[in-house]
Amino acid sequence: MSSTAELIENVYHAPNVAFILQSVSERLKTEAIKRREYYALVHEDTKAEFINGEIVYQSPVRMRHWDASMQLSALLHSHVLKYKLGKVGVEKVMISLSRNDYEPDICFFSAEKAAEFAPDQMHFPAPDFIVEIVSKSTEKIDRGIKFTDYAAHGVSEYWILDPERQTLEQYILTTNNDDGEAAFELRQKLTKHGLCTSVIIQNFTIELAELFV
């Protein structure tokens, strides 16, 4: 896959670069209108995300997804609350990035970031830590656009949890030394059991088998 720097260079050297930029600008204006329509449509009972100009609705989850989400979020919430590390969000927290809006399965904001939030706030910045629990319908997005977008917006740690395969992948944000571009690097992958310790959330460790009760 081409890096951002390579893509920019390719566009810059194209003889029709002015037309390309004009077309992109017009499409982004149309997308901004759709995004405002999305904000008007979504409500607390609807799980939907805005991704590259399209509203993506999420179907109901299977029991194994629900169980894993409840187990991990409960462990994380208890730990963060006990040590006053920040704030944990589950499913309906809308993360509004520069272009897209996501509702990750689980996310964590440091105490410093959370201190800036208002009680009636509905749109939140990039968290420090995100967990996406994949299913057949969401895996392509979780490993594709979200993987790239979360890194680009400075999410420091990203876990991909697969309840069907009983796997956990832990990714840490790194910077490419050649072009300075942020990207996730796999730290470890566990299957069925094993300990995973967060790099971002102080002293938070889980045994993978605990999530699949």
In a domain, 24, yes or no: no
In a domain, 172, yes or no: yes
Residue 71, classified by CB atoms within 10 Å of its CB into exposed (0-12), middle (13-18) or buried (19+), is middle
CATH number for the domain spanning 66: value is: 3.90.1570.10
- 78-92 pLDDT, tens per residue? 999 999 999 999 988
- As a whole number of angstroms, the distance between CA 15 and CA 89 comes to 47
In a domain, 40, yes or no: no
Domains held by the chain: number: 1
pTM of the model: 0.89
Which among 171, 180, 187, 70 is positioned nearest to 130, based on CA atoms? Answer: 171
Percent of the chain residues past pLDDT 90, beyond the cut: 71
Question: Where in the sequence is the domain holding 149, given as residue range(s)?
Answer: 60-211
